Amino acid sequence: MKILLLGADGQLGYELHRACAPLGEILPYTYSGQLPGAQRCGKIDFAVAGALAELIAEQRPQLVLNAVAHTAVDRAEDEPALAQRVNAEAVSELAQACRSADARLVHYSTDYVFGGDSQRPWREDDATHPLAVYGRSKLAGEEAVRNSGCRHMILRTAWVYAARGQNFLRTALKLAKEREELRIVHDQIGSPTPARWLATSTALALAKKHEGNGTWHVVSDGECSWFQFAAAIYSEALAAKVIERAPRLLGIPSSDYPTKAKRPAYSRLDCSKFANDFGLRLPDWRVGLREVIGEMAEARTL
């Protein structure tokens, strides 16, 4: 099977490259035309109209994995046209090209399509109500995939992190060296999800040959606040000797930490549909954190 991987140098794209290798021949594409480690690959810019249609027509893949997104949630407030272009308009072109080429499209979306005011984990068919530009553009991308008529799988995830890339874990570890005290919000709840687990789940779900179209939620089990996540990061990182000291943590309400983009207060996603359809359920977020910190500790000792 010929598999086009878009965004092969992002947190998720990097892991998809490894996890989906057993499924077929992977053709990786990035914005820079390079993979992590400086190896060359195909080049694609989602901001260029027509580029994706041309690429799909040229490569004729059977499967497309789209790990590209404008993920800078606050920056999206300042550049809404670019966020809309990358997360929605380009995705629409991609989905229509997949439909013409009869390629299956795996696309990723976010908990930020929801408003955050639920008393229970969000289900796939709950009403969406994005609070900011990023969530609105991702929702428009989802709708474009559904409306295109292409064979598709939309996986909504949340709080993604990895041993590489830009994420809360890496920022927290960097700040451990620079700060005595950190103020972290305690009233936003979600499920930290390792990019590797998401990529492995994607590969396993694809291997099940479930050909139905749909939207599924895929996040780690359990939930925590950003404050609890930070506390767990420092506890695991100290134990694994990834850091020598941890800052004091002070839990604060979101109202004391204003950001350009409003974030949902409650982001936990209900993954029962993914479990029922594919027989797959991610373990608790603390297990994932220990694995990722272990990976970082190992990399330092090599």
Among positions 21, 25, 32, 147, the unique one binding ligand NAP when judged by CB under 6 A: 32
Q: Does 7 bind ligand NAP (CB under 6 A)?
A: yes
Binding mask 208-227 for ligand NAP (x = CB under 6 A): --------------------
What is the rounded CA–CA span in Å between residue 177 and residue 59? 46
Look up residue 211 and give its two tokens.
């050909």
The H or E element containing residue 285 is helix 285-301
Stretch that binds ligand NAP, among 44-52, 122-130, 222-230, 256-264 (CB under 6 A): 44-52
The answer to whether the CB of 45 falls within 8 A of the CB of 68 is: no
Q: Which of residues 131-170 bind ligand NAP (CB under 6 A)?
A: 138, 157-160, 165
Minimum Å distance from CB 107 to ligand NAP?
7
Look up residue 240 and give its two tokens.
């694994």
Q: Does 261 bind ligand NAP (CB under 6 A)?
A: no
Is 31 labeled as catalytic in the residue annotation?
Answer: no
Coil/strand/helix, residue 265:
coil
Q: Does 249 bind ligand NAP (CB under 6 A)?
A: no
Give whichever of 31 and 238 is closer to ligand NAP, judged by the CB atom: 31
Q: Does 292 bind ligand NAP (CB under 6 A)?
A: no
Q: Which of 14, 29, 134, 266 is catalytic?
A: 134
Minimum Å distance from CB 16 to ligand NAP?
9
Minimum Å distance from CB 15 to ligand NAP?
8
Q: Footprint of ligand NAP on this chain (CB under 6 A)?
A: 7, 9-13, 30-32, 44-47, 67-71, 86, 108, 110, 138, 157-160, 165, 195
Instruction: Please give the positions annotated as active site.
Output: 134
